[in-house]
Amino acid sequence: MSNNLLKGKRGIITGALNSASIAWKVAEKAHQQGAIFTLTNAPVAMRMGEMKELAAATKSEVIPADATSVEDLTTLFQKSQEILGGKIDFVLHSIGMSPNVRKNLPYTDLNYEYFQKSVDISALSLHKMLSVAMKMDALSEGASVVALSYIAAQKTFPFYNDMADAKAILESIARSFGYHYGKKKKVRVNTISQSPTKTTAGNGIKGFTEFYGFADAMSPLGNATAESCADFCIVMFSDLTKMVTMQNLFHDGGYSSTGASTEAIEKFAS
Ligand SMILES: NC(=O)c1ccc[n+]([C@@H]2O[C@H](COP(=O)([O-])OP(=O)(O)OC[C@H]3O[C@@H](n4cnc5c(N)ncnc54)[C@H](O)[C@@H]3O)[C@@H](O)[C@H]2O)c1
């Protein structure tokens, strides 16, 4: 379905590792809606990923960039503007990684070097992107920046480990930078807090499968899929949401407002 919601818009989409990635679905839908964009990922991830396939299908160029490197991000914004022929109208930040989660370290006994990496990759990268873009004046008036988050930023989900702290910082950066960029150029900065989703990052969390079922049973609409998250991102990039900024928007089938569901309670019936 195409309504040309993004016709004439230029974007940067991070984080499409494989066809399960939320960013992959966003790229497919942005292409359907008439946008042109560049794709980017960490150089190491691009060797493992299937990005070339996505680039061909969406007629996009791929620019490797480690999102923790200001130098790489500067090149990303510079090259993207050259390739796309003007300032950038939308950016998807779809980046998350915790070495502590990968190494299965418990939250109460974290490796602090890893912790800093988790925060740098998953949260400070948003600040770096916005700061680089602002210094270069790379975003157009009213551009839209969306970063993906998770409800562990507000409530405790023990298995989410140090990613919970990284997401809390990510959401705070969206609010803080959103103020400054809104004042300067009417740029919108929001986070979308997505349901558990079966992706490489999602499946890397300990106990993910069980929790996926729990969240599904708790959500009146069920878990939101990667595809429906992509639909929401498209609306946020479009001109239909010009006055939405500095928000954390739940895209979770109603999970965040549900205290108990009959399906979840029934599991305790004797
Ligand atoms: N899957 C879920 O359950 C879920 C739920 C809520 C929010 N999210 C968030 O959605 C976003 C996308 O994750 P996903 O679920 O699609 O998984 P994914 O594994 O497909 O995407 C994560 C991406 O981050 C990239 N990345 C890691 N380190 C990087 C770096 N240094 N520089 C640039 N890119 C780097 C990876 O290469 C990968 O493409 C993440 O922010 C994640 O936390 C996921």
All structural domains of the chain, each given as residue ranges with its CATH number in brackets, are 10-264 (3.40.50.720)
Is the minimum distance from the CB of 94 to ligand 1 under 6 angstroms?
A: yes
Give, using CA atoms, the residue closest to atom 42 of ligand 1.
Answer: 96
DSSP state of 186: -
Are the beta carbons of 192 and 229 closer than 8 angstroms? Answer: yes
Dist. CA 159–CA 134, nearest whole Å: 36
Which has the minimum average pLDDT: 161-175, 194-208, 253-267?
Answer: 194-208
Helices 125-136, 70-84: inter-axial angle, 10-degree rounding: 50
Do residues 106 and 149 lie in contact, with contact meaning Cβ atoms separated by under 8 Å?
no
pLDDT at 270 exceeding the cut of 80: no
Ligand 1 atom having least distance to the Cα of 197 = 3
Supply the pLDDT for residue 243.
98
pLDDT tens per residue across span 45-100: 877 668 999 999 999 999 999 999 999 999 999 999 999 999 999 999 999 999 99
pTM: 0.98
233 lines ligand 1 (CB under 6 A): no
Q: In 3D, which of 249, 264, 122, 257 has the Cα closest to residue 194? A: 249
pLDDT at 206: 81
Distance between Cα 101 and ligand 1 center (Å): 13
